[in-house]
Amino acid sequence: MFSRIKGNARACLIFEAMWVIPFNMFSTYASVYMLALGLKETQIGLLASISLTLQIFTSFISGHLTDRLGRRKALLIFDIVSWSLATLIWAIAKNFWYFLIAVIVNSVQKIPNTAWYCLLVEDTEPENRSAIFTILQIISVISGFFASLGGLLVSRLTLVPAVRLMYFIACISMTAMFFGRNYITYDTEISIRKRLESRGINFKESLKEYKEVLKEIIDNKLLKIMFGVYILNNFQMAIRGTYLSIYLVNALKIKASLIGLFPAFSSIAMLILLFLAVPRFKERFSINYMLTGFAISMLANIILIMLPPNNILGVIIVTILSASGNIIANPYLESAIANLISDENRAKSLAILTVLLLVFISPAGIIGGWTYSINPKIPFILITFAFLMNEWLLLVFKRESRINF
């Protein structure tokens, strides 16, 4: 698959591990790190919702800034702000206010995210884009093994000092990546043209283009359906990412030092599927793969809800099933969204879609925190319902696209 990828996409993939490895290490412990520093579950949920709300604004301006500055320049500047600076603040955090400042800084991430996405797909043929997202999954999977190093650090240094070290490592690794990737990438023909067209156009004038792009999105029925799937998938990921570790430690009584081991089981399951099953997949059956992947993820979530405390084997099974569902469904979901957006208006289309996405999922943190305080199982019941809705939407998409699978 990698031999099919050329240009900027190849350059982005080469450096990706330098971001994913440290991110996997600290993200596994982010919630329990906040708890250890005295934050309450409701405060953690509030921070998650504040982050998503702020990202609505940065997402909205991301298309304009990506076109005006060019993909590479926007990517470098705002990656340093949103990740290098944010990880440094997290590393020295002492209370809620440190985390709030870090959330504000990190919310800028939507600008480089739009620029990176454009850089990743604009000079790649549509039929090769699913390969890009599959390779990204492979990198994420292999990097998942390194999350177990986080567990080793926690067992040796205790939770707070270990997580501080993880954030410092992330700051150094990510910053080196940003400069290295910028050095070997280039601005695409579309990027150069958009930058020239944007000269002398202020944001107010750019809003007219946003309106035209929004009309295109509204008129694209298939994109609307697939984007519904994307919203629900991100909603469940926002809740799961915030509350899974807390649920494992508090409700299922799993030791914090063991949490970092579960991504290793996830990685093993994904690698087996990536090398034995995924290469046999055919692009024309992508909807069926998404249906299968979400069904497996839904089953994993149902099992998680039913697990009794101290059941490590059950958590391992849930982790493997959830990972399998992700690796089957997610690359095809990302590819479907990418292929339904035109290259000409990609930056602004992504900006608008991201704003809409965040509007719908920004309450996820507060909803998760409120429902968790009532019963720790309720957030995961909501996740199960999201997967069920995705199954229905994909069947609607399959019917509307009139493709015989």
pLDDT tens digits for range 309-336:
989 899 999 988 998 898 888 888 888 8
Is 140 within a domain? yes
Residue 11 CA from chain centroid, whole number: 20
Nearest to 320 by CA among 261, 398, 243: 261
Spatial neighbors of 118 by CB under 8 A, at least 6 apart, are 66, 71, 188, 190, 191, 346, 347, 350
Name residues of the chain where pLDDT drops below 50: 404-405
Is 242 within a domain? yes
State residue 229's pLDDT score. Answer: 92
Contact 405, 394 (CB under 8 A): no
| Residue 254: φ, ψ to 5° | -85, 135
State residue 49's pLDDT score. Answer: 79
Is 368 within a domain? yes
The total domain count for the chain is: 1
Residue range(s) defining the domain that contains residue 340: 2-400
State residue 109's pLDDT score. Answer: 93
Query: Model confidence over 114-138: pLDDT tens digits?
Result: 899 888 888 777 777 777 888 887 8
- Residue 300 sits in a domain whose CATH number is 1.20.1250.20
State residue 339's pLDDT score. Answer: 82
State residue 202's pLDDT score. Answer: 66
- Any idea what the Cα angle at residue 274 is, between residues 312 and 284, rounded to 5°? 125
Question: How many CB atoms are closer than 10 A to CB 107?
Answer: 22
Question: How many CB atoms are closer than 10 A to CB 222?
Answer: 12
State residue 266's pLDDT score. Answer: 77
State residue 246's pLDDT score. Answer: 85
State residue 122's pLDDT score. Answer: 80
Is 405 within a domain? no
